[in-house]
Chain A
Amino acid sequence: EAGVAQSPRYKIIEKRQSVAFWCNPISGHATLYWYQQILGQGPKLLIQFQNNGVVDDSQLPKDRFSAERLKGVDSTLKIQPAKLEDSAVYLCASSLRSGYGYTFGSGTRLTVV
Protein backbone atom coordinates (compact mmCIF):
# COMPACT_ATOMS: atom_id res chain seq x y z
CA GLU A 1 0.00 0.00 0.00
CA ALA A 2 1.16 3.54 -0.63
CA GLY A 3 2.48 5.37 2.43
CA VAL A 4 1.67 8.78 3.84
CA ALA A 5 2.69 11.41 1.29
CA GLN A 6 3.92 14.84 2.32
CA SER A 7 5.10 17.84 0.36
CA PRO A 8 7.26 19.75 0.08
CA ARG A 9 10.23 17.89 1.56
CA TYR A 10 12.12 21.07 2.37
CA LYS A 11 11.14 24.71 2.73
CA ILE A 12 13.17 27.77 3.64
CA ILE A 13 11.33 31.01 4.36
CA GLU A 14 12.00 34.30 6.06
CA LYS A 15 10.38 35.11 9.37
CA ARG A 16 6.95 36.69 9.07
CA GLN A 17 6.32 34.89 5.78
CA SER A 18 3.61 32.28 5.34
CA VAL A 19 4.02 28.61 4.50
CA ALA A 20 1.75 25.63 3.90
CA PHE A 21 2.37 21.91 4.07
CA TRP A 22 0.32 19.17 2.46
CA CYS A 23 -0.40 15.61 3.57
CA ASN A 24 -2.15 12.74 1.82
CA PRO A 25 -2.78 9.89 4.29
CA ILE A 26 -3.02 6.20 3.53
CA SER A 27 -6.26 5.41 1.75
CA GLY A 28 -9.02 4.56 4.20
CA HIS A 29 -7.26 5.95 7.25
CA ALA A 30 -9.82 8.01 9.13
CA THR A 31 -7.45 9.55 11.65
CA LEU A 32 -4.77 12.06 10.66
CA TYR A 33 -2.19 13.75 12.86
CA TRP A 34 0.24 16.62 12.45
CA TYR A 35 3.36 16.54 14.63
CA GLN A 36 6.13 19.10 15.07
CA GLN A 37 9.63 17.71 15.70
CA ILE A 38 12.23 20.26 16.75
CA LEU A 39 15.83 19.14 16.26
CA GLY A 40 16.95 16.86 19.09
CA GLN A 41 13.45 16.41 20.53
CA GLY A 42 10.62 13.93 20.22
CA PRO A 43 7.64 14.76 18.03
CA LYS A 44 4.89 16.88 19.58
CA LEU A 45 1.27 16.56 18.50
CA LEU A 46 -0.16 19.72 16.97
CA ILE A 47 -3.57 18.54 15.80
CA GLN A 48 -5.56 15.35 15.33
CA PHE A 49 -8.41 14.89 12.84
CA GLN A 50 -11.02 12.15 12.77
CA ASN A 51 -12.34 12.22 9.20
CA ASN A 52 -12.80 15.97 8.63
CA GLY A 53 -13.41 16.90 12.27
CA VAL A 54 -10.85 18.12 14.79
CA VAL A 55 -10.40 15.76 17.77
CA ASP A 56 -7.56 17.54 19.56
CA ASP A 57 -5.88 20.85 18.77
CA SER A 58 -4.94 21.80 22.31
CA GLN A 59 -1.23 22.13 21.47
CA LEU A 60 -1.69 24.04 18.22
CA PRO A 61 -0.56 27.70 18.48
CA LYS A 62 -3.76 29.01 17.01
CA ASP A 63 -2.58 32.58 16.69
CA ARG A 64 -0.33 31.52 13.82
CA PHE A 65 -1.01 27.88 12.94
CA SER A 66 -4.09 26.55 11.19
CA ALA A 67 -4.99 23.19 9.72
CA GLU A 68 -7.83 21.74 7.75
CA ARG A 69 -8.87 18.40 6.37
CA LEU A 70 -11.52 19.04 3.79
CA LYS A 71 -13.50 15.99 2.67
CA GLY A 72 -11.75 13.89 5.31
CA VAL A 73 -8.80 12.94 3.10
CA ASP A 74 -5.93 15.37 2.37
CA SER A 75 -4.85 17.88 4.95
CA THR A 76 -2.96 21.15 4.93
CA LEU A 77 -1.09 22.82 7.79
CA LYS A 78 -0.40 26.54 7.51
CA ILE A 79 1.83 28.88 9.47
CA GLN A 80 1.21 32.60 9.18
CA PRO A 81 3.36 34.48 10.09
CA ALA A 82 6.32 32.20 10.72
CA LYS A 83 8.76 32.73 13.58
CA LEU A 84 12.34 31.52 13.93
CA GLU A 85 11.25 28.97 16.56
CA ASP A 86 8.96 27.30 14.04
CA SER A 87 12.01 25.75 12.39
CA ALA A 88 11.36 22.03 12.69
CA VAL A 89 10.29 18.93 10.82
CA TYR A 90 6.53 18.70 10.40
CA LEU A 91 5.37 15.10 10.34
CA CYS A 92 2.03 13.85 9.18
CA ALA A 93 0.75 10.47 10.36
CA SER A 94 -2.41 8.49 9.76
CA SER A 95 -4.15 5.48 11.26
CA LEU A 96 -7.28 3.45 10.64
CA ARG A 97 -8.64 4.63 13.96
CA SER A 98 -7.30 6.50 16.93
CA GLY A 99 -4.48 4.89 18.80
CA TYR A 100 -3.68 2.03 16.44
CA GLY A 101 -1.11 1.51 13.71
CA TYR A 102 0.25 4.99 13.14
CA THR A 103 2.16 5.41 9.85
CA PHE A 104 4.31 8.51 9.52
CA GLY A 105 5.16 10.39 6.36
CA SER A 106 8.69 11.50 5.49
CA GLY A 107 8.07 14.98 6.88
CA THR A 108 8.65 18.53 5.72
CA ARG A 109 11.78 20.21 7.03
CA LEU A 110 11.06 23.92 7.59
CA THR A 111 13.82 26.43 8.14
CA VAL A 112 12.83 29.97 9.11
CA VAL A 113 15.62 32.53 8.67
Chain B
Amino acid sequence: ELKVEQNPLFLSMQEGKNYTIYCNYSTTSDRLYWYRQDPGKSLESLFVLLSNGAVKQEGRLMASLDTKARLSTLHITAAVHDLSATYFCAVSQHNNNDMRFGAGTRLTVKP
Protein backbone atom coordinates (compact mmCIF):
# COMPACT_ATOMS: atom_id res chain seq x y z
CA GLU B 1 0.00 0.00 0.00
CA LEU B 2 1.30 3.43 -0.94
CA LYS B 3 1.94 5.60 2.12
CA VAL B 4 3.06 9.20 2.18
CA GLU B 5 4.69 10.82 5.20
CA GLN B 6 5.49 14.47 5.63
CA ASN B 7 7.58 16.16 8.25
CA PRO B 8 7.42 18.30 10.10
CA LEU B 9 3.65 18.48 10.58
CA PHE B 10 3.91 21.93 12.13
CA LEU B 11 6.52 24.56 11.34
CA SER B 12 6.85 28.01 12.79
CA MET B 13 9.56 30.17 11.32
CA GLN B 14 10.75 33.75 11.27
CA GLU B 15 10.55 35.89 8.18
CA GLY B 16 13.76 35.81 6.18
CA LYS B 17 14.76 32.31 7.30
CA ASN B 18 15.16 29.18 5.18
CA TYR B 19 13.62 25.81 5.84
CA THR B 20 12.84 22.48 4.17
CA ILE B 21 9.75 20.28 4.29
CA TYR B 22 10.27 16.58 3.62
CA CYS B 23 7.98 14.08 1.91
CA ASN B 24 8.74 10.36 2.00
CA TYR B 25 6.70 7.73 0.18
CA SER B 26 6.69 3.98 0.51
CA THR B 27 6.54 2.49 -2.99
CA THR B 28 7.64 3.31 -6.50
CA SER B 29 5.86 6.32 -7.88
CA ASP B 30 5.94 8.16 -11.16
CA ARG B 31 4.46 11.50 -10.13
CA LEU B 32 4.82 13.69 -7.10
CA TYR B 33 2.75 16.79 -6.44
CA TRP B 34 2.99 19.71 -4.05
CA TYR B 35 -0.14 21.66 -3.12
CA ARG B 36 -0.82 24.69 -0.96
CA GLN B 37 -4.00 25.10 1.06
CA ASP B 38 -5.02 28.30 2.84
CA PRO B 39 -7.49 28.02 5.76
CA GLY B 40 -11.00 27.37 4.49
CA LYS B 41 -9.81 27.26 0.91
CA SER B 42 -9.26 24.56 -1.65
CA LEU B 43 -5.94 23.15 -2.84
CA GLU B 44 -3.72 25.12 -5.18
CA SER B 45 -1.27 23.18 -7.32
CA LEU B 46 2.35 24.29 -6.85
CA PHE B 47 4.53 21.70 -8.56
CA VAL B 48 4.37 18.38 -10.41
CA LEU B 49 7.61 16.38 -10.42
CA LEU B 50 7.89 13.57 -12.92
CA SER B 51 11.41 12.20 -12.90
CA ASN B 52 14.40 11.50 -10.70
CA GLY B 53 16.42 14.63 -10.08
CA ALA B 54 13.60 16.94 -11.16
CA VAL B 55 13.81 20.41 -9.64
CA LYS B 56 11.23 23.14 -10.01
CA GLN B 57 11.22 26.64 -8.58
CA GLU B 58 8.56 29.28 -8.25
CA GLY B 59 9.43 32.39 -6.30
CA ARG B 60 10.68 31.46 -2.82
CA LEU B 61 9.68 27.80 -3.17
CA MET B 62 11.80 25.07 -4.75
CA ALA B 63 10.79 21.41 -5.00
CA SER B 64 13.01 18.46 -5.81
CA LEU B 65 12.54 14.74 -6.27
CA ASP B 66 14.83 11.78 -5.55
CA THR B 67 13.00 8.67 -6.73
CA LYS B 68 15.74 6.33 -5.52
CA ALA B 69 15.38 7.60 -1.96
CA ARG B 70 11.59 8.02 -2.45
CA LEU B 71 11.96 11.53 -1.13
CA SER B 72 10.82 14.95 -2.20
CA THR B 73 11.71 18.23 -0.55
CA LEU B 74 10.06 21.62 -0.60
CA HIS B 75 12.61 24.29 0.24
CA ILE B 76 11.54 27.72 1.42
CA THR B 77 14.00 30.56 0.91
CA ALA B 78 13.78 33.83 2.87
CA ALA B 79 10.27 33.14 4.11
CA VAL B 80 7.61 35.86 4.09
CA HIS B 81 4.30 36.00 5.94
CA ASP B 82 2.32 35.33 2.74
CA LEU B 83 3.75 31.82 2.63
CA SER B 84 1.82 30.86 5.78
CA ALA B 85 -0.43 27.96 4.74
CA THR B 86 -0.62 24.16 4.84
CA TYR B 87 1.53 22.38 2.28
CA PHE B 88 0.66 18.89 1.07
CA CYS B 89 2.66 16.46 -0.99
CA ALA B 90 0.83 13.76 -2.93
CA VAL B 91 2.03 10.77 -4.90
CA SER B 92 0.47 8.71 -7.66
CA GLN B 93 1.54 5.57 -9.47
CA HIS B 94 1.21 4.80 -13.17
CA ASN B 95 -0.92 1.74 -12.64
CA ASN B 96 -3.11 3.38 -10.03
CA ASN B 97 -4.15 6.95 -10.55
CA ASP B 98 -5.20 7.37 -6.95
CA MET B 99 -3.30 10.40 -5.64
CA ARG B 100 -2.29 9.69 -2.04
CA PHE B 101 -1.75 12.73 0.15
CA GLY B 102 0.50 13.26 3.10
CA ALA B 103 -0.94 14.70 6.32
CA GLY B 104 0.27 18.18 5.45
CA THR B 105 2.74 20.64 6.98
CA ARG B 106 1.16 23.67 8.62
CA LEU B 107 3.59 26.54 8.10
CA THR B 108 3.39 29.76 10.06
CA VAL B 109 5.78 32.56 9.16
CA LYS B 110 6.15 35.16 11.90
CA PRO B 111 7.23 38.75 11.26
Contacts and interface: CB of A to CB of B under 8 A. Distances in A.
B27 interface: no
B75 interface: no
B41 A103 contact: no
Contacts, number: 49
Interface SS of A by simple majority: loop
A41 B90 CA distance: 12
B70 interface: no
B104 A41 contact: yes
Interface in B62-107: 88, 90, 92, 94, 96-104
Contacts of A56: 96-98
Interface stretch (A21-29, A69-77, A104-112): A104-112
Given A56-B97, A99-B97, A42 B88 contact: yes
Interface string B39-55: 00111110010000000
Interface residues of B, number: 22
A106 B42 contact: yes
A27 B94 CA distance: 24
Contact of B31 (A40, A99, A106): A99
A99 B104 CA distance: 20
A43 B97 contact: no
Given A41-B103, A42-B4, A101-B45, 18 more contacts: A40-B103, A40-B104, A41-B104, A42-B88, A43-B43, A43-B101, A44-B101, A45-B100, A55-B97, A59-B98, A99-B97, A99-B99, A101-B48, A102-B33, A103-B45, A104-B43, A106-B42, A107-B42
